[in-house]
Amino acid sequence: MKENNTPTPHIGAKCGEIAETVIMAGDPLRVKFMAEKYLENPVCFNEVRGMLGYTGTYKGKPVSMMGHGMGMPSIGLYTYELFHFYGVKTIIRVGSAGAYTRDLKVGDLVIAEGACTDSNYGDQYELGGVFAPIGDFGLLRAAADSCDRMGYRYKVGNVLSSDVFYRENPRTERWISMGVLAVEMEVAALYFNAARSGNRALGILTISDHLLTGEVTTSEERQKTFTQMMDVALSVI
């Protein structure tokens, strides 16, 4: 942790104002909702660029919650600063995803065991091969156990972290043929950053729309009703 580098260009907190465990969501309003719903005595530590962040306690444990924006460049930037400048050890992303299998319904959870990607984010590491970004197994196992205990519908497996939302030539069927469960836009970069920094990360996703059936949800539903993934994330910290 580089204490003399805080606040960073993108996070207004000082060293010590962010907990070692951070739960992140793309939408800063979802973060505000989570902080108000779950945290005891939440204190806002960041408003830079509207990317809200809060620190409080949950059942006596210090926890921070923060937005990460949309896409791998955005989550990559914020998680890099959290891991390298604020001493964060664990980041759990809670977000939405589009289903690639009829075994999933809108509202179901996906725990991302691994994250395929069509992004060049990993090229910076110059590995000379294809790196498979994966989640922390301890967190993954605990999250699956929590889903079983709480009675939440879920699947564990591979997701696709895509750089493109409106793709000119979709190749959905190719990812489906490889057993990919759902598509989103951030988990791979989170897993890359966690691996490189020697820290823990996990993506817990709620199916917000279905690429095969055409089912969709509203932005308000995504912001305020996707609480099962939040319950699971907080249960494993």
CA distance 85 to 13: 10
Mean pLDDT confidence for 96-103: 96
Torsion angle of C-alpha atoms 25, 27, 33, 38, degrees rounded to 10: 10
pLDDT tens digits for 124-174? Answer: 999 999 999 999 999 999 999 999 999 999 999 999 999 999 988 888 999
- What's the pLDDT at 231? 98
The stretch 79-104 carries a mean pLDDT of: 97
**Mean pLDDT, rounded, for 36-42:** 98
Predicted pLDDT of residue 219: 83
Arithmetic mean of pLDDT, 81-104:
97
What percent of the chain has a predicted confidence (pLDDT) above 70? Answer: 98
Helix axis angle, 228-235 relative to 137-150, nearest 10°? 130
Q: Is 98 left (phi over 0), alpha (psi -120 to 50) or beta?
A: beta
Question: Is residue 3 scored above 80 in pLDDT?
Answer: no
**Considering the chain, what is the average pLDDT of its residues?**
95
Residue 4 has pLDDT above 90, yes or no: no
Q: How high is the pLDDT of residue 1?
A: 56
| pLDDT tens figures, 55-66 | 999 999 999 999
Average pLDDT of the residues in 15-33: 97
Number of folded domains that form the chain:
1
CATH of the domain at 77: 3.40.50.1580
Which residue range is the domain that position 69 belongs to?
3-235
The pTM (predicted TM-score) of the whole model is 0.96
pLDDT higher than threshold 80 for residue 30 = yes
Give the up-direction half-sphere exposure of residue 34: CA atoms within 13 A in the CB hemisphere: 36
Backbone angles phi, psi at 51, to 5 degrees: -90, 85
Strands in 59-213 per DSSP E: 61-67, 90-99, 109-117, 154-161, 182-184, 200-210
Active-site positions read 209
Q: Report the share of the chain in percent with pLDDT over 90.
A: 91
- Mean pLDDT computed over 119-123: 96
Mean pLDDT of 201-228: 91
